[in-house]
Amino acid sequence: MQGKVVLVTGGAKRVGAAIGRRLHGAGAAIAVHYRFSRDEAQALVSELNALRADSAEAVQGDLLQAQDLPRLVQQTMRRFGRLDALINNASSFFSQPLAEITDAHWDDLIGTNLKAPLFLAQAAASELRRNHGAIVNIVDIHAERPMQGHLLYSVAKTGLGGLTRALAQELAPFVRVNGVAPGVILWPDGEDWQDEERRRRIVAHTLLKREGEPDDIAKAVLFLLSDAPYVTGQIIAVDGGRSITL
C-alpha cells in the first residue's frame, strides 16, 4: 500500500477507524470521512499524522446528499493527488416494524447503505480506472439471510451485495470490486442490543464461539486491496462461521 491513497467512509470510529489504521500501517494515506463525528475523525487523523507526517486528512460530508458525494472524492484528490481505493464502510442501522416504515426510513437506510456507495463509485470511477484501483464494500452476512425486525436494513445490504458484483462487472478489467460481510464484530449501540442473554445466544451460533474484532474486518480489507490481484466480484464473510448456521 506504499504510495496509495484510500478514502474510507464512516472512518472516524468503530470498524471504519480500524480499517484506516490497518491500511495506514501498510503504507497508505487515508482520507477519513465523517458526518457528525468530527472530534473522533480529527483525533484519528492526528494519531495517523503523528506516525507519518501528512498521511491522513478528515473529510466531512452527508452521504444522504448525493450531489455532495463527488466533493469527497475531489477533496481527497486535491489533498493527496490521487485515489487508489474506496472503502464504502459508512452505514445506518436500526430496526423498524413493517407497519411503521416511512419514506424517511427508506431514504436513510437505502441512502447510506446502497445509494451512497453507488454514487461514490461513480464519482471515483475514472480515477480508480487510471490507477488500476479497487473498491471494497462493507456488506453484512444478513444480506443473504435477512435479520428479523430489520427489513429495510437487510434489503439495503442485499442491494449492496448486488451492487458489489455489478460494479465488478462494470468496472472490469481496470478496477476490482469486492465486499466484506461482517458477523458479530461490534454490538450496535441501541438499547435492544444491551441484553447479555441475547448476545450470548448469537455468539453461541458462531462456529468459533466468540466475537470478532474490528481488526478482523480491517485485515480482510487489506487482503482484498493488496494481496488479491485476481479476486473481483466476491464477498468474504468474516463472521466466525455464523452465516452457515443462520
Residue 230 is a catalytic residue? no
Name the active-site residue from 18, 22, 61, 153. 153
Distance in angstroms (rounded) separating the CA atoms of residues 128 and 135: 9
Grid cell listed for 225: 486491496
Q: What are 59's strand-pairing partners? A: 33
Rounded alpha-carbon distances, angstroms, from residue 207 to 72, 212, 219: 39, 12, 20
Which residues neighbour 208 within 8 Å (Cβ) at sequence distance 6 or greater? 240, 241
CA torsion through residues 224, 229, 174, 56, sign: positive
Distance in angstroms (rounded) separating the CA atoms of residues 89 and 106: 18
Bond prior to 97 in cis (omega within 30° of 0): no
| Residue recorded with cell 471504519 | 16
Q: What are 60's strand-pairing partners? A: 34
Q: What are phi and psi of 129, to 5 degrees?
A: -60, -45
Grid cell listed for 132: 488500476
Which residues neighbour 246 within 8 Å (Cβ) at sequence distance 6 or greater? 141, 144, 145, 205
Catalytic residues: 153
